[in-house]
Amino acid sequence: MSNQWEGRQVLVTGAGGFIGSHLVERLTSEGAKVRAFVRYKSRTDLGQLKDIPEQALTSVEIVRGDLRDSAAVLSAMSGCEYVFHLGALIAIPYSYIHPREVVETNIIGTLNILEAARVEKPARIVHTSTSEVYGTARAERIDESHPLQAQSPYSATKIAADKLAESYYRAFDVQVVTLRPFNTYGPRQSARAIIPTIITQALSMPRVKVGSLTPTRDFTYVGDTVAGFLAAAMAPAENVLGREINLGTDQEISIGDLARLIIEIVGRDVPIECEEQRVRPTKSEVNRLHANNTLAKQLMNWSPSMLLIDGLRKTVDWIRGNLEMYQVGTYEV
């Protein structure tokens, strides 16, 4: 079977982020011509793109700009057949501090992508949502019909962005599918996420400090998430266009049990401490996230292949070899 991505022009927004950098790496390995849209900074920082193999990076076209700049977005999309829209401000604690910036980036940025698509008419846009749009689960397993509930400014912006994508499909026939990853993890993830936070402390600190221990999450290895993005881009149009589709493992684990599992993998007997500054406001905490991934299996032929224990071992090994990249013990928002 021929490679579906060979020679295809692809735009990835948020390419300097955790999932985005892994997606760029995978697309280049598949022969795609990747244009990576990264947020402009005077330091010309590539984010986590700098950590992908040098051979892969040399084949990537880097475009710097801001999602809030419609002209920059339109220019970046020029000539692209596929668009993976991952660009966003994703940290929930940061959205408590600077909600306006999060609104402008996540909502206006998505609007600019959709407007550019009306001009450039790419074959497909894969828009990135999040399991946070569901809020605390009202059913044991969350499917795509679960009510949406904004329990943080961040989740509110993602709900709005998802609805914009839906409206542009219905009103303007923009070829868009929305994916909702459930808590992706793996090598290169920043300490703003819970798994690197636990791992870095378990490796080098006298105790592991976390927020609440009782919430549950459905953790998906980054390689599986990336495979889901590629599957969404190539799935039959009648299966996926205009739809929201979960990417999750259909397994849940509490933060407390996750911390204990990581400590066991690391091999250091350190205590776990609940630190008040890390606890979300009561009405904002999402207490349970457990994906029903049936639609992804049926519509895209996607299912995760990495077991949590194996993915955690890979992540621990990577962080152990790159611990100098982290400010261990610092609570990062």
Q: Name the token pair of 61.
A: 């076209």
Does position 63 have pLDDT exceeding 60, yes or no? Answer: yes
Q: What is the mean pLDDT of residues 56-72?
A: 96
Does position 331 have pLDDT exceeding 80, yes or no? Answer: no
Residue-level pLDDT at 284: 72
Residue-level pLDDT at 1: 36
Three-state SS for the chain is CCCCCCCCEEEEECCCCHHHHHHHHHHHHCCCEEEEEEECCCCCCCHHHHHCCHHHHHCCEEEEECCCCHHHHHHHHCCCCEEEECCCCCCHHHHHHCHHHHHHHHHHHHHHHHHHHHHHCCCEEEEECCHHHHCCCCCCCECCCCCCCCCCHHHHHHHHHHHHHHHHHHHHCCCEEEEEECCEECCCCCCCCHHHHHHHHHHHCCCEEECCCCCEECCEEHHHHHHHHHHHHHCCHHHHCCCEEEECCCCCEEHHHHHHHHHHHHCCCCCEEECHHHCCCCCCCCCECCECCHHHHHHHCCCCCCCHHHHHHHHHHHHHHCHHHCCCCCCCC
Domains and CATH numbers, the chain: 9-190+218-251+290-306 (3.40.50.720)
pLDDT tens-digit profile of 96-130?
A: 999 999 999 999 999 999 999 999 999 999 999 99
Mean pLDDT of the chain: 94
Q: What is the mean pLDDT of residues 32-41?
A: 93
pLDDT tens-digit profile of 218-237?
A: 999 999 999 999 999 999 99
Residue-level pLDDT at 278: 74
- What count of other Cβ atoms lies within 10 Å of the Cβ of residue 321? 10
